[in-house]
Amino acid sequence: MSKVVASIMCADQLNLAKELRSLNEAGIDWLHCDVMDGQFVNNLAMGPYVLEPIIETQKFTTDIHLACVNPEKYVSMFVQAKPDYITFHIETVKDPSKIIDQIHASNCGAGIAVSPETPIESIFPFLDDLELVLIMTVNPGFAGQPFRHHVLDKIARLNQELSSKITRPLIEVDGNIYAETAKAISQFGADLYVVGTSALFNKKTGSYRDKVQAMEQSIN
């Protein structure tokens, strides 16, 4: 069954402990944690001191998404927090296998992220070594961007490539995911749907539980 994943960057940062309790009560047990360096994307987010206590609660499966150049540096910083997955961008490295090995050496699951304009075929040589593939449906860096519908074809091609494999990585999608876009994606196949401000953290549109249930109906 597919899961709704909360993008914790979009939560109320002044009340993170309360937000985590509310997410847990709403049935969320996966968190997507964006780390941005101001170079790969024109934004900054979230440091080890913020994410470590979140991970230490042990109430969530955590995926740290490194939207950063020099991901090997950030892998070294964040493995100490013991997240479940660390995901880096294919666009930022010359030797993805080296970063995958670095992540695995720290007993974390390894993921590769693919930006909207990057051919999905660029990650095919590494699929057997991955636990997660993150397909960005907007350009990484900021919430609220338009959904890139051409990415649906990339999801279809990835699933076709994975269809003959005995073991396969999880497919995660991130970027303007709400009921309508999630329903479109579900027809092609994804495991993890990252939701942020529009689908979850907008406090004017109902409770977290109601919104999570609505998303679950869209993707399952």
Catalytic pick from 29, 34, 84, 191? 34
3-state helix, strand, coil in the chain (%, to 5): 45, 20, 35
84 is catalytic: no
Cα dihedral across residues 81, 85, 91, 95: positive or negative = positive
Q: Are strands 30-37 and 44-45 parallel, antiparallel or unpaired?
A: antiparallel
Kindly state the helix (H) or strand (E) to which residue 63 belongs, with its residue range.
Answer: strand 61-67
**Torsion of Cα atoms, 199 then 147 then 136 then 162, to 10°:** 100
Token pair listed for 207: 């409770």
Find the catalytic residue in 12, 84, 95, 174: 174
C-beta neighbour count of 40 within 10 angstroms: 20
Residues 90/138, Cβ–Cβ less than 8 Å: no
Closest by Cα among 92, 25, 16, 88 to 49: 16
Buried b (16+ CB within 10 A) or exposed e, 136-145: bbbbbbebee
* Rounded Cα distance, 2 and 191, in Å: 4
63 is catalytic: no
Whole-number Å distance between alpha carbons of 64 and 51: 9
Catalytic center residues: 34, 174
